[in-house]
Chain A
């Protein structure tokens, strides 16, 4: 069964303290791995899509990387406005476009 596991469940960082969030997945042939940011009471906001092992993408303080078994979201020198839940989702092959989500990592950045 296709599965996505995110760790840690929650992370508290001091402003400027860099860290990484993990997303491990088991899926029979990955079409894409997605990272989203979700603020309380809002919908998932797209950050990155990664398609193959070794691929990296960056946006401001965020960098996403992908291996054959997991993805990391690196946050460099975070600011309080980076506080949110970060969701990882995979898109499996076969005849489907659905996304399978992890439970997310709730990030809090304190000034």
Chain B
């Protein structure tokens, strides 16, 4: 069964530092996404990416966030200057003919 792979599984960073979360989507999928889930809250959409550009972003996805597909397989989320409130699970997802599949997530802890 094809799967979305995320690394690292857990990242601890100091407030103000930059972090990069990495994802390898399912190979024949064309749409890629980042979602986040703050502990105890619902899963929230951050951004969608298609054809090498952002197709939609939420209000949460402000100037401190960016996404990139640096090569044919990786998809990254960068947070430039982390804040305490960025602590959450971050999920990558991809969609195609076989549906909408999520990765197992990166738990980001900002201290």
User: Could you give, for residues 13-41 of chain B, a 1 whenever the CB lies within 8 Å of some chain A CB and a 0 otherwise?
Assistant: 00000000000000000010101000001
**Chain B, Cβ-Cβ closest to A4:** B42
Which residues of A sit under 8 angstroms from B33, Cβ to Cβ?
Answer: 97-98
**Contacts A43-B102, A43-B103 known; A102 to B45 CB distance under 8 Å?**
no
**Contacts A44-B91, A101-B42 known; A96 to B56 CB distance under 8 Å?**
yes
**Chain A, Cβ-Cβ closest to B105:** A43
Which residues of A sit under 8 angstroms from B35, Cβ to Cβ?
Answer: 99
A52: shortest Cβ distance to chain B, in Å?
A: 16
**A99 engages B101 (CB within 8 Å):** no
A54: shortest Cβ distance to chain B, in Å?
A: 21
Which residues of B sit under 8 angstroms from A95, Cβ to Cβ?
Answer: 55-56
C-alpha gap A101/B42 in the complex (Å):
7
**Chain A, Cβ-Cβ closest to B98:** A46
Interface residues in A26-72 by Cβ distance below 8 A to B read: 34, 36, 41-46, 49
B43 within 8 A of A: yes
**Chain B, Cβ-Cβ closest to A45:** B102
Interface residues on A, range: 20 to 34
**Contacts A96-B48, A96-B56, A98-B33 known; A46 to B107 CB distance under 8 Å?**
no
Which residues of B sit under 8 angstroms from A34, Cβ to Cβ?
Answer: 100
**Chain A, Cβ-Cβ closest to B58:** A98
**B91 engages A101 (CB within 8 Å):** no
A7: shortest Cβ distance to chain B, in Å?
A: 14
Which residues of B sit under 8 angstroms from A102, Cβ to Cβ?
Answer: 42
C-alpha gap A91/B103 in the complex (Å):
19
A18: shortest Cβ distance to chain B, in Å?
A: 26
**Chain B, Cβ-Cβ closest to A34:** B100
Interface residues in A73-97 by Cβ distance below 8 A to B read: 87, 89, 91, 95-97
Give chain A's interface residues, CB within 8 Å of chain B: 34, 36, 41-46, 49, 87, 89, 91, 95-104
Can you list 12 A-B pairs with a CB-CB distance of less than 8 A?
A: A36-B102, A43-B105, A46-B99, A46-B102, A96-B56, A97-B33, A97-B48, A98-B45, A98-B58, A99-B35, A99-B45, A100-B45
